[in-house]
Chains A and B, each alone.
Chain A
Amino acid sequence: MKVIDDVLVRTEHLSKVYPDGNVNALCDVNVEIRRGEYVAIMGPSGSGKSTLLSMLGALDRPTSGEVYFEGERLSSMPSLDRFRSEKIGFVFQSFYLLPTLTALENVQIPMFESNRPVKERAAKAKELLASVGMSHRLHHLPSKLSVGERQRVAIARSLANDPVLLFGDEPTGNLDTKTAELILGLFAKLHDESGVTLVVVTHSDEVAARAERVIHIRDGQVVEDSHISTATTKIA
């Protein structure tokens, strides 16, 4: 049965073991992320935070446990591709823009999965690039853009299909402090103005400080779940 409440995504006894290294990347993780929240996931390298993000974003299958999105099990969805296309946006540390495409073309790539006609795709991409302050660089290749500009294009791309949930995997990891501030400002604007739910994996205290809630993860387990404006919940 589909349960509709303000919980957007939640996990139930989520575990992930990578067979190649026999690594317990996640171990019995139970988290809930509510609609409109701005959540940071923190932890040392190898703690399992990116794996958790992969599971929440349907990029990988858990070894056991379940992820629910708007009350529906991801494992019972007919198409996870469609789910990712319609509901999820991703911003990566290394941007992952396609090198032979201009900024305008890169933003249109996710839209091939929508029914938008060609002209509409281009118009939407222009609008998104304008929203991240990149109107003046529409026809530049990634190699001609600064790293901050590349990440702005990547953010515009992540918003191409109007996602309800946006994941950032170390989105400021490759940026200098000033550019990182700019990108974090964009995230904050998105969250405040569009109501997009944001889940950001980060090492950075500065990034985490922008979030409403910080989930600390270590050795594949959630060790602390703290709401910035409320009390911290320590998990035994």
Chain B
Amino acid sequence: MWFSTFLLKNLLRRKTRTLLTSCGVAVAVGTTIALLGLSESFENGTLSALEKRGIDIVIVERGVLDQLSSDLQENAVDYVAALPGVSKVEPALVELMGYTDPNTGNTINVLLQGWRTDSFQFAEFEIIEGRPLQEGDDKAILLGVTLAENVKKHAGDTFVLNEEELEVVGVFESFSTFESGGAIMPLKGLQAMSFREGSVTGFPVILEHGPGAPTVAEVAEQINQLKDNEGRSLNLLARPSREYTQEAMHIKMAHAMALMTSLIAVFVGGIGMLNTMIMSVVERVREISILRAIGWRKSRVVAMILGESLILSAVGGVLGAIGAVVLVSLLTKLPTVAGFMTGRIAPQVIFEGFLLALAVGMIGGLFPAYRAAQLMPSEGLRSE
């Protein structure tokens, strides 16, 4: 008989308790994997929208926490475009507006982006219905495919936002979950609708790449120093795409909330494991005494308790990972979530979640194992 067989038989002695404890760990680990996976998916969604278009730098207003709060003069684009090493730069306005379904009364948030109709950013879109935006389309909107499905709109329909009636000229599909879940309007139209004429929230920048071209850091530094013709700072903050994504306030908040919720879940899971293993030791004082009496070393008793606890947590880890993958896949299909994140969880997050499960098992089993090892062999036998 293998030692591991012995541990499994011990655990199967209390099937219900074993199952419930594993489920407790599964909930903790599943919550962690799901939340961390979603927050990472959130970050990756933003980053991929930039990297796939070859955007090297994102410019926002200096000192703001989030691009949505950024407020820059649209004409700053000309100063940036004039810098050596800059290949393309576009003004962009991002707004978050609520859309209320006239039939159900449900409101969903729509991420609206205002681009010039000839923006290089359209290159990555596939128009699957209707047509692209054109010059003069100020009261027109292009819906992402996920949003169009959620609001049940097609090309030619009317879409009401901020009491403004907009014509759906087409439906597009993007590689970016964010974009497919949102909508694009002509820059002028969105500026007018949000009372922000001449104002944008940022500028995506593509640099020249080749021998002698300035580095991303060098161009970013030049952008940060830009002043207008009257010598006033343009108040621009340029950051490489990855750094911009990692530093974005909404992404940092998503990570922080995921981490805090996960820690609470893990703490609860750890307490559950501790309780189970302490109960297991208390119930088996005599049995452990017998094992010690027949020559088991303290270290083997520790290995037995920790081994049982690690098996419980490993089972919980597997159940939790499966649960998280299924749950996230289902949740991201909900209309309110579908446009913001994908249902995929990175394998690395699942692996980290599994390691976390083992850590819960180790922490939850350590004290009971120590208690068990301290039992004198005679302790459980004296009551006979």
Query: Complex: how many Å from CA A81 to CA B3?
Result: 18
A157: nearest chain-B partner, CB-CB = B294
- Chain B contacts for A122, CB-based, 8 A: 1
Q: A60-B376, A105-B1 are in contact. Are A94 and B384 (CB under 8 A)?
A: yes
Most chain A CB atoms below 10 A, which of B2, B3, B292, B297? B297
Query: Complex: how many Å from CA A60 to CA B295?
Result: 13
Question: Which residues of A, 55-108, contact B by the 8 Å Cβ criterion?
Answer: 57, 59-61, 79, 81-82, 84-86, 88-90, 92-94, 96, 98-101, 104-105, 108
Partner of B293, one of A90, A98, A100, A105: A90
B12-A161 in contact (CB<8A): no
- Chain A contacts for B293, CB-based, 8 A: 57, 59, 84, 90
Q: B37 at interface (Cβ–Cβ under 8 A)?
A: no
Q: B377 at interface (Cβ–Cβ under 8 A)?
A: yes
Q: A130 at interface (Cβ–Cβ under 8 A)?
A: no
- Chain A contacts for B294, CB-based, 8 A: 84-85, 89-90, 109-110, 157-158, 160
Q: A81-B298, A94-B384 are in contact. Are A109 and B378 (CB under 8 A)?
A: no
Q: B10 at interface (Cβ–Cβ under 8 A)?
A: yes
The smallest beta-carbon distance between B285 and chain A, in angstroms, is 12
- Chain A contacts for B376, CB-based, 8 A: 59-61
The smallest beta-carbon distance between A99 and chain B, in angstroms, is 7
Query: Complex: how many Å from CA A109 to CA B301?
Result: 12
Partner of A81, one of B5, B286, B296: B296
A57: nearest chain-B partner, CB-CB = B293
A59-B377 in contact (CB<8A): yes
The smallest beta-carbon distance between A225 and chain B, in angstroms, is 24
Query: Complex: how many Å from CA A160 to CA B294?
Result: 10
Q: B9 at interface (Cβ–Cβ under 8 A)?
A: yes
- Chain B contacts for A158, CB-based, 8 A: 294
A99-B13 in contact (CB<8A): yes
Most chain A CB atoms below 10 A, which of B12, B286, B300, B378? B378
Most chain B CB atoms below 10 A, which of A93, A101, A158? A101
- Chain A contacts for B10, CB-based, 8 A: 100
Partner of A110, one of B13, B295, B298: B295
A118: nearest chain-B partner, CB-CB = B2
B2-A113 in contact (CB<8A): no
A80: nearest chain-B partner, CB-CB = B377
Question: Which residues of B, 180-220, contact A by the 8 Å Cβ criterion?
Answer: none
Q: A94-B384, A118-B2 are in contact. Are A100 and B12 (CB under 8 A)?
A: yes
A122: nearest chain-B partner, CB-CB = B1
Q: Could you give, for residues 1-32 of chain B, a 1 whenever the CB lies within 8 Å of some chain A CB and a 0 otherwise?
A: 11101100110110000000000000000000
Query: Complex: how many Å from CA A90 to CA B6?
Result: 21
Partner of A93, one of B287, B291, B384: B384
The smallest beta-carbon distance between B171 and chain A, in angstroms, is 62
- Chain B contacts for A92, CB-based, 8 A: 290, 381, 384
CB pairs A–B below 8 angstroms (15 shown): A59-B377, A59-B381, A81-B297, A82-B297, A100-B9, A101-B6, A105-B5, A108-B1, A110-B295, A113-B295, A113-B296, A122-B1, A157-B294, A160-B294, A169-B381
9 further interface pairs, Cβ-Cβ under 8 Å (given A57-B293, A98-B287, A113-B296): A54-B378, A81-B298, A85-B294, A96-B290, A105-B6, A108-B1, A109-B6, A110-B294, A113-B300
| Residue ranges of B at the interface with A (Cβ–Cβ < 8 Å) | 1-3, 5-6, 9-10, 12-13, 286-287, 290-298, 300, 376-378, 381, 384
Instruction: List 7 tightest A-B contacts by C-beta distance, closest first.
Output: A85-B295, A60-B378, A81-B297, A59-B378, A59-B377, A84-B295, A100-B9
